[in-house]
Chain A
């Protein structure tokens, strides 16, 4: 990544440009790997790209940035993902 030496609004790609958006969550998606049929619907619909597609097409969740929208749980036809109330560490 080359930095341009000019004073204008130039911005560089960064994961977490708005910080750790995982802190926005009220509900947390919990994946039951045993139930997952690797259909990848959660992966394709997640608006945040926080469903990680593994090599074997299993999925995992990037909790650092997952905003807890619940779309993954909603599109999973075998109910392998459930939304649970977030317990925030004090």
Chain B
């Protein structure tokens, strides 16, 4: 699928409340191109709830139900059941939540919905922080990153949500990134065609949250993949396939770039470079990434 083959469908209308350079709206545009207008979206508290803009108007041109922060998957379960009762099974139900609403407060409801085989697509747009509330750490925040609650840099590594999801053995799960619209589109399209629970996580570099210039959103995503900080993959009925550059890294056909190449452009890691290079922490980050890839290779190659 080339860019020019992507459909014209737009469900996020111009003039929303999103920050300039926002990865959430960038991702949402592609999501709706793949899913079309026969879609109902459930949104917990997160940036997207703000992006929708101010009552009595909305920037979304599909039905959207806002729900409490921890409740996206449970709310979607109810919508899905109701549609089934009304014979509207052709409508796609999507939960669209942030990493906070997914990794942290919403993980229980998500796990429950996956286990119950809810027929929906759960999408996590992962900007690695609580953006809505002004940049606090989440379970997805990487080691060393500054947030307003990890002032000297986060002291723990992020959790591996993809593997938690895989433990549910659902029909389809995937990781993608806003910088790869075709990959994102194809994964959504595939998910739409599969019955049962689907989980897709989108790496979403956030300019104000990560402290990089707003025109760099796409590069930040590309670099996340090329440095191996983030992997593009999909899991179909327990069979895992890596995609694009991630596949080449996995198969050692190319070497991942040093994570440093990615984080040095982000103000949230500035303290690792200034006043002097924090060799210890930078080394820990690289080692942790290598370990992740070694695990991937052991398990999935």
Chain A in direct contact with chain B (Cβ < 8 angstroms):
yes
List A residues at the B interface (Cβ < 8 Å).
9-21, 24, 38-41, 43-50, 53, 57, 62, 64-71, 73-75, 83
Does B100 make an interface contact (CB < 8 A)? no
Does B26 make an interface contact (CB < 8 A)? yes
Give 25 CB contacts A-B under 8 Å: A9-B55, A13-B13, A13-B58, A13-B60, A14-B15, A14-B58, A14-B59, A17-B15, A18-B16, A18-B17, A39-B3, A40-B3, A40-B4, A47-B21, A48-B16, A49-B10, A53-B8, A65-B14, A67-B20, A69-B20, A69-B217, A70-B213, A70-B214, A71-B214, A83-B215
Could you tell me if B25 and A17 are in contact, using CB atoms closer than 8 angstroms?
Answer: no
Expressed in whole angstroms, the Cα–Cα distance for A57 and B3 within the complex equals: 11
A68 partner residues in chain B, CB cutoff 8 A: 20
A62 partner residues in chain B, CB cutoff 8 A: 14
Choice from A13, A41, A69, A73 contacting B57 with Cβ under 8 Å: A13
List B residues at the A interface (Cβ < 8 Å).
3-4, 6, 8, 10, 12-18, 20-23, 25-26, 29-30, 52-61, 66, 181, 213-219
A8 → B minimal CB distance (Å): 10
> A48-B25, A69-B21 are contacts. A11–B14 as well, Cβ < 8 Å?
no
Choice from A16, A39, A49, A69 contacting B215 with Cβ under 8 Å: A69
- B66: nearest residue on chain A (CB-CB)? A9
Could you tell me if A48 and B18 are in contact, using CB atoms closer than 8 angstroms?
Answer: yes
B18 partner residues in chain A, CB cutoff 8 A: 47-48
A63 → B minimal CB distance (Å): 10
A70 partner residues in chain B, CB cutoff 8 A: 21, 213-215
